[in-house]
Amino acid sequence: MQASNINVSNFVSVKLSGRSNYKIWKAQLLCLIESQLLLHIIDAQNQFPMDKGVHMIAQYDKLVKGWIFGSVNEKVLNDLVDLGTAQMVWMKLDSLFNLPLSDTEGDSSNAPDVSTIDAIAPVISTMREDLKYLQALNVDVSNFVSENLVGKINYHTWKTDMLFLIESHELVHIIHAEARFPQDKADPLTKKYDSLVRGWLLSTMNDTQSDEFRMYRSVQEMWKRLESTFTYQPKTSDSVKKDTGDTKDDSSNETKDLNYMHLKSNVNVSSFVSVKLSDHSNYNIWRDQMLSLLESHCLLHTIQICFPWDKDDPVTQKYDILVRDWILSTMNEEQRRKYAMYGLVQLMWRNIELTFDETEDLKYMEASNVNVSNFVSVKLSGRSNYKIWKDQMVCLLESHNLLHIIHMEGFGWDEDGPMTQKYGNLVRGWILSTMNDEECHKYRIYRSVKLMWSNIESTFGETEDLKYMEASNVNLSNFVLVNLTSDNNYSIWRAQILYLLESHSLLHIITLENWFEEPKYQTLVKGWILCTMNDKLLKEFPAEDYVYRSAKELCEKVESRFTKGYPSHEPVLSASTQDLKYTQALNVNASNFVSVKLFGRSNYKIWKGQMLCLIKSQRLLHIIDKEMFMKWVNMTPLSQVGFSVP
């Protein structure tokens, strides 16, 4: 029986609402999880089965997380939706509702039977360790780590904060092998701390970094990989003198080269991979052994499709060739001939998985038989429950490795392929089946699931709401200073309209073929165009004629009316318009963008987000961002910069 097809309600008959029914709910859910041999997902002491691959861990994690989400009420769910893994969700529920101390109060049978100080000592020691773990488990990580890891730009700050958190709980030995005692490896408590610290690391990364590093099951391997990815050695004075403009870190590259030479010369692949890949019969064994080889040398990232790597970096190319050679050397002659054609190791690995893993038809059959209500417990009815609905739907998609279907992004996927189209129809059905009748009727017109998802996000998403609110409240006179009257001022009017669209990231609206694609923005843009014409022209372009027509059709009509063409994209603002841009920025109503006054940390994020919207709308981000400023200066002709650069 497939775990994703289980009817959860057969096991879990109650919705978790609080402490009153937590014990019953927990017992029922544990029964379900254990029946599917998935206890390792929520309990680090239970090892993941060796016949499963690392990619399956994430899928099963999302599956169990979906079971939990589907069996709690909406009030409880609000406290869980932002947590990353099923284990973190499970521990959060345990900390909220489990009362291990009060359960044993007054029960003399639970008191330790000791008669001497020597007998009491180990009991006290165990209790202290349990208390220490409980304190670490319930720590508020945000009190220590002030910002999520996004890359090299903030790695040093993030690392300092994280080390302070780890050291404050005396857990440095968890991330450094040299600080561990030999007996720690098999210690159950150490394993629990491993999982805990791994959770701390992943929960303080942004989505991109979390996706890249969650593949490392060992917290030590994860920490080593973080160090090797983001740490670089500062140049010595000698190397600075020798530098003639190349900003790459020579010492770092030299270290990487030495590591590469060590791997190439000293790694005996046969010590890790004892079988030759020949067919489906030995694929799982070969795959587990190959993954162990890559993980032991911190090279798992070389085969991950989500890992961004520099194709022009010579060291990266060397590692790519090295891993590719390892893979080919562990295949029989037939398979080697078949896969030698792939020059990129990521592409090679992806196609090996497609060939030897479960067939796509079997995966599709499993996905098509899933019980959607196990994952999505609410019907999308509006903005009030959109966030919960979206989190549950994304959880469902991730559990079946189908997130790329709504974004049509992903390495090795054919957007027009028959399997992609079948999955698209399947996901479209999932989405429509989890809407109320009103929303379902509204979105069923979309045949493309990508377009459907985009419109759902633009309708209910908070970011899109802010964008639309800013655009709909714009003061047109700040952008379009001259209304369209004739051929004489058409070019000026056109430049102003294009700048208005570009400043609100809406240029694409006048390229859409159908009026029902992003309809509210289409209506807004058509209104801008018609509102900036004089009365005589409005009689030629009556608004009622364009209710069910796209903004593109209106633009084409305007184009045919005047002598000069109406470019639908790539506007070029000449140097003569720089004064106009400055005047528009000078007269912008800042309160249309920034609705709050900054008074402290409590409202800084809101103020910053609104201020950035204002600055970006005027294309002035380079004014506050030094790196962006240099790019802007380098890309802009001096005649168009508008001021002298010191």
Q: Please give the Cα distance from 269 to 296 (Å, whole number).
A: 12
| pLDDT value of residue 247 | 44
Question: Which sign, positive or negative, has the C-alpha torsion 327, 328, 334, 339?
Answer: positive
Helix axes 449-460, 519-531, angle to 10 degrees: 70
Helix (H, G, I), strand (E, B), or coil: what is residue 2? coil
Contacts of 159 (CB under 8 A, 6+ apart): 226, 230
Helix (H, G, I), strand (E, B), or coil: what is residue 435? strand
Nearest to 88 by CA among 44, 46, 53: 44
Tell me the DSSP string of 366-416.
Answer: HHHT--GGGT--S-B-SGGGHHHHHHHHHHHHHHTT-HHHHHT--TT--TT
Contacts of 434 (CB under 8 A, 6+ apart): 372, 376, 378, 379, 380, 389, 393
| pLDDT value of residue 327 | 92
Tokens of 246: 């190349």
Q: What are the beta bridge partners of residue 205?
A: 149
Hey, what long-range contacts does 19-23 have (CB within 8 A, 24 or more apart)?
A: 19/97, 19/99, 22/93, 22/97, 22/98
| pLDDT value of residue 49 | 57
| pLDDT value of residue 112 | 44
Helix (H, G, I), strand (E, B), or coil: what is residue 109? helix
Output the pTM of the full model.
0.31
Q: How many residues does the chain have?
A: 646
**For residue 318, what is the enclosing H or E element?**
helix 314-329
Tokens of 583: 């005047």
Q: Are 320 and 342 in contact (CB under 8 A)?
A: no
What are the backbone angles phi and psi of residue 38, rounded to the nearest 5°? -120, 25
Burial classification of residue 345, based on how many CB atoms lie within 10 Å of its CB (0-12 exposed, 13-18 middle, 19 or more buried): buried
Q: What is the CB neighbour count within 10 angstroms for residue 634?
A: 7
| pLDDT value of residue 84 | 74
Helix (H, G, I), strand (E, B), or coil: what is residue 533? strand
| pLDDT value of residue 314 | 73
Cα radius of gyration (the chain): 30
B/e letters for 182-217, b = 16+ CB within 10 Å, e = fewer, are eebeeeeebbbbbbbbbbbbbbbbeeebbebbbbbb
Question: Which sign, positive or negative, has the C-alpha torsion 259, 264, 265, 269?
Answer: positive
Block mean pLDDT (10 aa), the chain, length 646: 66 76 77 74 64 59 77 79 78 73 43 45 63 80 86 84 85 70 57 85 86 79 84 45 44 59 74 87 85 80 61 72 90 89 81 70 79 89 87 86 71 53 88 92 88 86 69 82 81 81 81 75 87 85 76 84 50 45 66 72 71 69 58 38 32
Terminal-residue alpha carbon distance, the chain: 71
Q: Please give the Cα distance from 398 to 404 (Å, whole number).
A: 9
